[in-house]
Amino acid sequence: MPKYRCHKEVWALKIKEITFDIDIAQKENRETTGGAIITPEDAVFVRFEVGAEYVSKHKPKAGGYYVVYEDGYKSWSPADAFEAGYTKI
């Protein structure tokens, strides 16, 4: 099988914490949106919300990376895989 090396440039933030809306909704006794709030490890960046589709598709976990590609596609990557394939520029 041919071997490939990644040459893409992406934007990414390491995830310190994820607060899933389902947990908040249970405390507030309301329906969940299915989304989550991501807290970046780097305190320079503010917390931000991701929708249910992102959460369902990528199943993000703290310690991994929230990744945005040049075409706007948003993804999640485990830390080991991301750090092995990308270098900060």
Mean pLDDT, residues 21-36 taken together: 96
3: pLDDT strictly greater than 90? no
- For the stretch 34-75, pLDDT in tens is 999 999 999 999 999 999 999 999 999 999 999 999 999 999
Categorize the per-residue pLDDT at 2 as very low, low, confident or very high, splitting at 50, 70 and 90. Answer: confident
CB-CB contact of 36 with 22 (8 Å)? no
Residue 64's identity, in one-letter code, is: G
| Mean pLDDT, the chain, integer | 95
7: pLDDT strictly greater than 90? no
